Amino acid sequence: MTVRPATPEDVPAIREVADDAWWDTYPGVLDTDRIRAGLETLYDPEFLREVLDDRDDLLFLVAERDGEVVGFVSARQTFADEVELFTLFVAPDRQRDGIGTELLGAVEESARAADAERLRAGVLAGNAVGRAFFEGHGFERVETVTTEVGGESHPEDVLERSLDDTV
């Protein structure tokens, strides 16, 4: 498996992974309209191409196996001592293959190189798989905030992990 920076040519594959992961993960957490709206807003192909072309401050990586994009992660250093993960999704049929762990490890490596002290991630309340993934990698819930998905407010658990911790 290869983890590499995403390019505009990866947009269709990123969108496909996002579609599959959202429809696998969020029923029961979000209603159908929120899933559709979230995907259309966050993974609009033109928006993604613009992000990949213009956002030098954003780390956006894809995991590729056998020439196929099977996961992606995006993160940004939000404070001098903190890197926030915005997305981490793996194709449902490839979950539990270590892909998410590899993507998280690449973000961690980048964060350490930038002298960050901690990682932070938000997980929609009710996303038991996402929360278990991060907790399994040493993250702990520090607060619950409200985030907007598809025009509606939803609770989101914020999890953090010190980069001093080894997992």
Which residues fall within 8 angstroms of residue 17, CB to CB, at 6 or more apart?
69, 70, 71, 72, 89, 90, 91
| CA 114 to chain centroid | 19
Q: 34 CB contacts (<8 Å, ≥6 apart)? A: 26, 149, 150, 151, 152, 154
Q: What is the mean pLDDT of residues 140-153?
A: 95
Burial (CB count <10 Å: 0-12, 13-18, 19+), residue 96: exposed
What is the tens place of the pLDDT at every residue in 57-113? 999 999 999 999 999 999 999 988 999 999 999 999 999 999 999 999 999 999 999
Mean pLDDT, residues 2-28 taken together: 97
Mean pLDDT of 115-130: 96
The mean of the pLDDT values for the chain is 95
Cα–Cα distance measured from residue 156 to residue 83, given in angstroms and rounded to the nearest whole number = 17
Bridging pattern class, strands 82-90 and 118-124: parallel
* CA gap 16, 7 in Å, rounded: 15
To the nearest 10°, the Cα dihedral for 29, 73, 10, 127? -10
CATH superfamily of 2-118: Gcn5-related N-acetyltransferase (GNAT) (3.40.630.30)
pLDDT of 39 strictly over 70? yes
**Residue 55 to residue 59: CA distance in whole angstroms:** 8
pLDDT at 56: 86
For residue 167, what pLDDT band results from cuts at 50, 70 and 90?
low
pLDDT, position 74: 98
Neighbours of 9 (CB within 10 A): 10
* C-alpha angle 95-113-57 in degrees, rounded to nearest 5: 75
Q: pTM for this structure?
A: 0.94
